[in-house]
């Protein structure tokens, strides 16, 4: 083997900086470069090698042995006989004499083109995940993984992982100073490799190893490394799904949502371990279909370190949690839902992120993703950090993530968490602990712009997809188009309805007459937004008890109240959302670390509640009057909202032209009322479609024997009326037939 000349080919200061993992521009030193005398110099760091030889790929010729310049493995040498840059490989010889040939990462050009760099710097790269993170790539016929990370204030960044013994000296990254992106292509690194970023500040401080903000997978908690992964491809049927979902998610559609925390819906009984994505696909999907829900809403599935956050403190926004298996199995769950006609909504968390050292906080040694001022950047209630929506790269990160779930995993919509905390600068803050906007107000103008842009992108790029805001204040126009000054969401959770109705139901029936307005007040604003009526996980945790235990009275009354309440909800204008376990009357408060109490279904009272939910969903779906005008005032008409003494309310739901109206009557006392007269708009027979007191649901069986005929007796301003038998603590649905 020819010997390479031994003169000093690399400045000692560069060698020392490279080996100390402190050089800010490693691509200026490592790889193939033209020396001062015009000859080509190759430099490499191979800490585990006893010797390194330079090979010409074209002919496989050994050009020379490189010279060790540092005891820890810095080698350099002159490419003998080469006049122009060329493709080469390195042969590494270990101390035991074994050899391996590798492609040198420092011989490959940047994978980021000028347009990519421009869009990333501008904050308008809506598929930024295709360039940042860890991407399977092929360069010059060599396969591997391209790593890229945004860390503009770092002095140095290296990727470390299984492939280099987590040694920060081996693979320092190339910096693009125009936009602060660092990148490197590592040949032969493939799916399954664990990795993180080793980031050094300009003053030489080394930060805790950081997980990849754009990582597509992660290792199971409590371990925190990112994992190289390839996005699973959609099946042909899945690619056709968006065309089917468009009508299923319109304002006029029957949208009934089953909210699920996958880690506690059901577990393996023998060891309390999680079900996998595949097992959930086999069990959860048919259950949702059986109960007639149109959608399943998953509490956040992005990777998160702490089980007790329920996913609401995510670290890996682009990675489906590894708790339940690999990304391709999450894709399978989504596809199984779609095959069954079930839409999939994700809870999405752009409002804050946790302070875990491997996460986004102080990412490059500065407040990069969060505001630097704690009055803007710290969430006092949750001990988390708040995104800086005014930084274009941060907004682009979040917008790209939202589109990623919708476009790459086929998700049908996003329920955006904690919108109120984003909209108000003084949210949960004392006077003097917040920074006013440029007009001196409390509105977070940057967050408003971000949310409007989010909704414009979702509805513009993703046909049939929808967004839902968890927004608990009276901010106007949350679900109104951005061109009218609204935020642009498709729907908004009706938190006022939830609070008022639960407060009413928790009263002993003897006292309900004094709280009657809590049932009727919501109709004053019911059509100001496109509302979803939410009975969510938040109502059955933190000492609030289960829905069943919120109900007053003995066990019979508790179940009767709950059934009446559910039927009241399904008859009330607005889309429906129910948290898991509520559909069969779970008794205990929800806990995230154990399965629901499925054994309760051995009790006919719990089975009765479950059966009622299935029948309510069926009627809601089949009767246009119950869903077509959920969001329109023309779809609702009071019959009687003032009988507080008897705690009775009644109204009509109306659909489009030709649709028969549905009469909804609620008796919220345990007193049966015989001959209770209510005005109706037309004569004929009114069939009793549903009675929450039916024996099949565990009730007393009091009712109207399938229906009754309207009489020509004027009542409630209408020419005809029904003399109804109102069961105790019950809701009735009736509809004219024939």
Residue pair 293/618 in contact (Cβ under 8 Å)? The answer is no
N-to-C CA span, the chain: 99
Catalytic residue among 417, 529, 583, 688: 417
- Candidates 577, 582, 596, 573; CA nearest to 551 is 582
Residue pair 323/330 in contact (Cβ under 8 Å)? The answer is no
Query: Per-residue DSSP letters for 179-238?
Result: TTEEEEEEET--TT-EEEEEEE-TTSPBPPPB--TT-S-BPPTT---EE---PPPPPHHH
Instruction: For residue 445, give both structure tokens.
Output: 């103008």
Buried (b) or exposed (e) across 175-214, using 16+ Cβ within 10 A? bbeebbbbbbbbbebeeebbbbbbbbbeeeeebebbbbbb
Whether 96 is a known active-site residue: answer no
Question: Which stretch of DSSP H or E encloses residue 415?
Answer: strand 413-416
Residue 402: cis peptide before it, omega within 30 degrees of 0:
no
Residue pair 63/54 in contact (Cβ under 8 Å)? The answer is yes
> Angle, nearest 10°, between helix axes 392-408 and 445-461?
30
Separation CA 343–CA 231 (nearest Å): 21
Q: Which residue has the tokens 């980021």?
A: 112
- Candidates 567, 545, 568; CA nearest to 611 is 567
Q: Dihedral of the CA atoms 547, 503, 620, 613 (nearest 10)?
A: 20
Separation CA 496–CA 518 (nearest Å): 10
Separation CA 199–CA 122 (nearest Å): 23
Tell me the pairing of strands 531-535 and 575-579: parallel
Catalytic residue among 212, 470, 471, 539: 470
Instruction: For residue 232, give both structure tokens.
Output: 């699973």
Separation CA 476–CA 443 (nearest Å): 12
Whether 114 is a known active-site residue: answer no
Query: Per-residue DSSP letters for 253-294?
Result: S--EEEEE-HHHHSB-TTT-PBPPHHHHHHHHHHHHHHHT-S
Query: Per-residue DSSP letters for 312-352?
Result: SS-SEEEEE-GGG--HHHHHHHHHHHHHTT-EEEEEE--S-
Please identify every residue annotated as catalytic: 417, 470
């Amino acid at each position: 083997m020819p010997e390479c000349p031994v003169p000093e080919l690399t400045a000692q200061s560069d060698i020392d900086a490279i080996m100390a993992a402190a050089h800010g521009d490693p691509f200026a030193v490592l790889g193939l470069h033209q020396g001062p005398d015009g000859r080509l110099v190759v430099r490499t760091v191979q800490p585990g090698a006893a010797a390194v030889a330079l090979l010409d790929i074209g002919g496989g010729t050994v050009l020379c042995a490189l010279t060790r310049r540092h005891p820890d493995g810095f080698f350099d040498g002159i490419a003998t006989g080469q006049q122009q840059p060329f493709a080469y490989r390195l042969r590494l010889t270990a101390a035991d004499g074994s050899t391996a040939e590798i492609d040198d990462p420092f011989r490959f050009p940047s994978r980021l083109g000028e347009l990519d760099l421009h869009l990333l710097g501008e904050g308008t790269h809506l598929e930024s995940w295709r360039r940042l993170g860890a991407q399977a790539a092929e360069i010059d016929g060599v396969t591997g993984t391209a790593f890229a990370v945004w860390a503009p204030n770092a002095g140095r960044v290296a990727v470390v992982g299984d492939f280099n013994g987590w040694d920060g000296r081996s693979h320092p990254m190339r910096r693009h100073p125009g936009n602060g992106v660092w990148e490197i292509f590592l040949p032969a690194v493939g799916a399954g490799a664990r990795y993180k970023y080793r980031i050094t500040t300009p003053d030489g401080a080394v930060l805790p190893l950081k997980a990849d903000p754009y990582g597509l997978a992660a290792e199971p908690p409590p371990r925190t490394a990112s994992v190289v992964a390839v996005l699973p491809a959609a099946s042909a049927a899945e690619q056709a799904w968006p065309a089917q979902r468009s009508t299923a998610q319109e304002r006029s559609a029957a949208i009934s949502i089953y909210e699920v925390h996958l880690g506690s819906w059901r577990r393996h009984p023998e060891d309390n371990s999680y079900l996998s994505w595949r097992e959930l696909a086999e069990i959860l999907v048919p259950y949702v279909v059986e109960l007639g829900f149109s959608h399943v809403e998953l509490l956040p599935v992005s990777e998160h370190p702490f089980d007790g956050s329920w996913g609401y403190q995510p670290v890996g926004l682009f990675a489906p949690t590894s708790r339940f298996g690999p990304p391709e199995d999450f894709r399978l769950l989504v596809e199984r839902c779609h095959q069954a006609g079930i839409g999939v909504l994700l809870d999405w968390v752009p409002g804050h992120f946790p302070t875990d050292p491997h996460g986004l906080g102080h990412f490059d040694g500065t407040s990069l993703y969060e505001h630097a001022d704690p009055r803007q950047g710290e969430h006092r209630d949750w001990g988390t950090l708040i995104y800086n929506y005014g930084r274009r790269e941060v907004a682009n990160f979040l917008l790209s993530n939202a589109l990623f779930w919708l476009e790459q995993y086929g998700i049908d919509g996003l329920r955006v968490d904690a919108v109120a905390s984003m909209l108000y600068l003084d949210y949960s803050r004392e006077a003097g602990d917040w920074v006013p906007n440029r007009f001196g107000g409390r509105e977070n103008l940057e967050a408003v712009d971000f949310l409007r842009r989010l909704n414009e992108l979702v509805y513009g790029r993703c046909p049939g997809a929808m967004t839902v805001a968890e927004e608990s204040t009276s901010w106007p126009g949350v679900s109104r188009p951005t061109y009218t000054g609204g935020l642009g969401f498709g729907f908004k959770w009706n938190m006022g309805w939830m609070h008022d109705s639960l407060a009413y139901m928790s009263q002993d029936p003897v006292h309900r007459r004094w709280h009657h307005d809590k049932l009727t007040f919501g109709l004053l604003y019911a059509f100001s937004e496109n509302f979803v009526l939410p009975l969510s996980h938040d109502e059955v945790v933190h000492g609030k008890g289960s829905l069943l235990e919120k109900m007053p009275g003995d066990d019979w009354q508790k179940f009767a109240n709950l059934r009446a309440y559910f039927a009241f909800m399904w008859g009330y204008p607005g889309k429906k959302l129910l948290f898991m376990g509520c559909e069969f009357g779970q008794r205990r408060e929800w806990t995230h670390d154990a399965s629901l109490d499925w054994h309760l279904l051995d009790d006919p009272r719990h089975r009765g509640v479950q059966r009622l939910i299935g029948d309510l969903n069926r009627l809601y779906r089949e009767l246009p009057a119950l869903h077509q005008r959920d969001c329109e005032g023309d779809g609702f008409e009071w019959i009687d909202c003032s009988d507080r003494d008897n705690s009775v309310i009644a109204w009509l739901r109306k659909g489009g032209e030709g649709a028969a109206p549905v009469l909804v009557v609620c008796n919220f006392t345990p007193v049966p009322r015989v001959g209770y007269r209510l005005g109706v708009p037309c004569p004929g027979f009114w069939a009793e479609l549903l009675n929450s007191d039916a024996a099949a649901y565990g009730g007393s069986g009091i009712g109207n024997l399938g229906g009754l005929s309207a009489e020509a007796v004027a009542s409630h301003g209408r020419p005809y009326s029904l003399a109804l038998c109102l069961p105790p603590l019950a809701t009735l649905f009736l509809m004219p037939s024939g």
